[in-house]
Amino acid sequence: MIQLAAPWMLLLLPLPLLVWKLFPPHREQEDALRFPFFRRIAEAAGAEPRAGAVVLSRPKVSVIAASLCWVLVVLALARPERLGAPVTIETAARDVVLAIDISGSMDSRDFTAPDGTRKQRLAGVRDVVRGFVEGRDGDRMALIVFGSAAYLQAPLTADLDAILALLDRTEVGMAGPHTALGDSIGLAIRTFESSEIDQRLLILLSDGSDTASRMDPVNAAEIAAGRDVEIFTVGVGDPDATGENRVDLDTLRAIADRTGGAYFFAADEAALTAVYERIDALAPRETETLSFRPRRSLSWLPLGLAALVGLASLAFLRLRLGHRRARRDSGAAA
């Protein structure tokens, strides 16, 4: 389908005709010698006296070519363009931050794989999180890891491959041996400050109790709730353990309750997979649909055709003028 992006430019088409009507050829008065027997001389010569000013007539080829060139130039100014087939793009209207505990306790090999074998907690979490990230096509995600301090590994981005690559390079103890739950929530809040999307989701995964935060985790959750951040907490590990290795289920539950999220406990890889499926059900992804039709400008076509018409008319007039001169010279020689 072809349409004009600026059809109002077609109003310029009658402009040369208006100029021709409103602005006639310029005439100047010149001094002349007048003698009484001019009419007799004209009669003797068989000529008919006319006005002194003469407007040279233009060849029809020149008039037709000029008119056609003007029409083509105006058509180019109207910006003809070809519309392509409609293209629809669906983008997710949700930002997700993953905050993963990599404290020393995540090195424990008590995480049960689907085949019954025991594996490192962080390795099991990585395997499940990888599948979760791969299913977030269209979402923007950020990755935070925390131990004694919280660190932003990747800001909000649609490049999920980068998130997975950084996750694969994460090792236990990289952020220190302790657990800073509150600081990880605070860092997530700052990460969401660059987001203009209403649906903001923080998934906080930890296997220990908060021992290193400068901000109380529950207070941080209150601030997150005021920033429209929904927190889903996931506990892994042994709730019956002592010290930092004990999962503080009450704190994780309180964090989720403050923000309208949900708390889960995953004892093995299968349970953690079910947790992420449950999160998808509780926080379905909102999408924005963008539809557009690609446009391809065709203005170069009438401009190129106008140039060809102009060059062709000039060549024709030049050839005709040369032919006339040749005939005149041959007549004079005869």
Nearest to 131 by CA among 92, 167, 157, 183: 167
Residue 246 has pLDDT above 70, yes or no: no
Strand partners, 118: 112
DSSP state of 238: B
pLDDT tens-place string over residues 168-196? 898 988 888 888 889 999 999 999 988 87
257/261 Cα distance (integer angstroms): 6
Count the neighbouring beta carbons within 10 Å of the beta carbon of residue 286.
11
Strand partners, 235: 206, 265
Residues 6+ apart with CB under 8 A from 262: 232, 233, 256, 278, 279, 282
Contact 157, 133 (CB under 8 A): no
> Which of the residue ranges 137-151, 173-187, 266-280 would you say has the lowest mean pLDDT?
266-280
265/232 Cα distance (integer angstroms): 11
304/76 Cα distance (integer angstroms): 10
Q: Residue for token digits 């100014």?
A: 77
Write down the mean pLDDT value for the chain: 83
69/63 Cα distance (integer angstroms): 10
Give the pair of three-digit tokens for residue 69: 């060139």
Class of 89-290 per CATH?
alpha beta
Q: Given this model, what pLDDT does residue 188 score? A: 94
Q: What are phi and psi of 263, to 5 degrees?
A: -110, 140
Q: At what angle do helices 181-192 and 249-259 cross, to 10 degrees?
A: 20
Contact 147, 115 (CB under 8 A): no
Nearest to 266 by CA among 104, 124, 99: 124
Nearest to 76 by CA among 150, 164, 160, 10: 10
DSSP state of 90: E
Residue 54 has pLDDT above 70, yes or no: no
Residue 56 has pLDDT above 90, yes or no: no
Strand partners, 87: 292
The arithmetic mean of pLDDT across residues 124-153, rounded, is 87
Reported confidence tier of residue 239, pLDDT bands at 50, 70, 90: low
Q: So where are the chain's domains? A: 2-25+56-85+294-333, 89-290
pLDDT tens-place string over residues 60-119? 888 888 889 999 999 999 999 988 888 776 666 678 899 999 988 888 887 777 777 888
244/185 Cα distance (integer angstroms): 19
Residues 6+ apart with CB under 8 A from 148: 103, 175, 176, 177, 178, 179, 180, 212
